[in-house]
Amino acid sequence: MVVSGMIFVITGFVILSFYSVVAGWAMSYFFKTVCGLFAVNTDFTGVFVNHIESPIAPLIWHLIFMIITVGIICCGVVKGIERSVKVMMPLLSVLLIVLVVRALTLP
């Protein structure tokens, strides 16, 4: 029984390790988009390669994401997770609606 419990812990750790890096990338791209660093003719492949080849930028964005995550978890279930979900889920719904409207209005 202990072995199966350890497998669940290891699996959760590996999944968090992967998704936290990708979430850091997403935060980086969101920041770049909000700041207007992407032009219409931006070479996104080049932007991605430059980002992941940088020795510092991915680490900083990963650290920012992990600090936010740990902060939410440390606040507990009601004050942390519940409050953040009450904000993030409606934002996700709005984002999806905006994306659908944008997709339907493309030529």
Going residue by residue through the chain (107 aa), what tens digit of pLDDT does each one get?
667 788 888 988 888 888 998 999 899 988 888 887 776 667 778 888 888 888 898 899 999 999 998 999 899 888 888 999 999 999 999 999 999 998 999 88
User: pTM here?
Assistant: 0.73
Contacts by residues 49-58 (CB-CB < 8 Å, ≥ 24 positions apart): 51/25, 52/25, 57/28, 58/21, 58/24, 58/25, 58/28
Q: Where are the domains of the chain?
A: 2-74, 76-107
